Amino acid sequence: MRITIVGCGAIGSRLAAAADAMSEVKRIYLVDIVKEIADKLANSLTKAIVVDSVEDELYHTDLVVEAANQETAKEIVPKVVSRGVDMMVMSVGSFVDDDYRRMVFQSAVEHEAKIFIPSGALCGVDGLRGASMEHLDSVELITTKGPKSLAGVKYLQDKGIDTMAIKEKTVVFSGSARDAVRFFPKNVNVAATVSLVGVGFDQTKVTIVLDPAATSNSHELRYKGVFGEAVAHTYNVPEPNNPKTSELAGLSATAALRRICRNEWFGI
């Protein structure tokens, strides 16, 4: 199997290292807007080479993994699936635009390409997926993060919120998943995943809490419907090289990559 990884940051580097250790993977193509970062990563691996763009090896790759950002995902996913190549998307918030999402998913069907979305830093998505086969009354996601995890968010800056100055637990956002993904593109990708699996971006309620005492990124997923009611609470350790995301996000991506490469599907 040949894999292209777009984005050589914390998650991309972890996935590249995992792929490098898999016997199923024969070649890894690395793409990053900063070529030096890709070169450094490639030099630490045995199966990796750096290419200038996704298109360079698209006819020779079996799977493209996006581990960059929403803008990059929106650009490359249509190109990949229209060539009939499978795609794993980490920046799930890129699917918040309904017309774009429908176009991409339809193209994937027409060209027999698969789109994989890992569960990310959130437990309970499997149950939500099953529960969504019948009517769901409500789906709510409550995310709690520390000041560093929410630092630099333009939405908060525009509202005059200094994350480092807040001294007590404070709700900094409450609204739809559509708005949460738009205003917090690097912080709540899980809200997009929950929306796609459950009741959609407009009907999914998201609350973001800033807690100066938080030592972990917390996600509480609540949903109820015909099946009954469920609550899944995940307390995540922040990813060492990127406190805006969680350690479990990287682990989930690695597990998804392994399942895809080995064609092993447990708990589906």
Give the residue numbers marked as catalytic: 219
Instruction: Report the distance separating Cα 14 and Cα 197, nearest Å.
Output: 26
Beta bridge partners of 219: 143, 234
Query: 109 CB contacts (<8 Å, ≥6 apart)?
Result: none
Find, among 152, 178, 173, the residue nearest to 163 by Cα. Answer: 152
Rg (CA), the chain: 18
19 close to 261: Cβ distance less than 8 angstroms: yes
Find, among 81, 101, 70, the residue nearest to 181 by Cα. Answer: 70
Residue 161 CA to chain centroid, in angstroms? 26
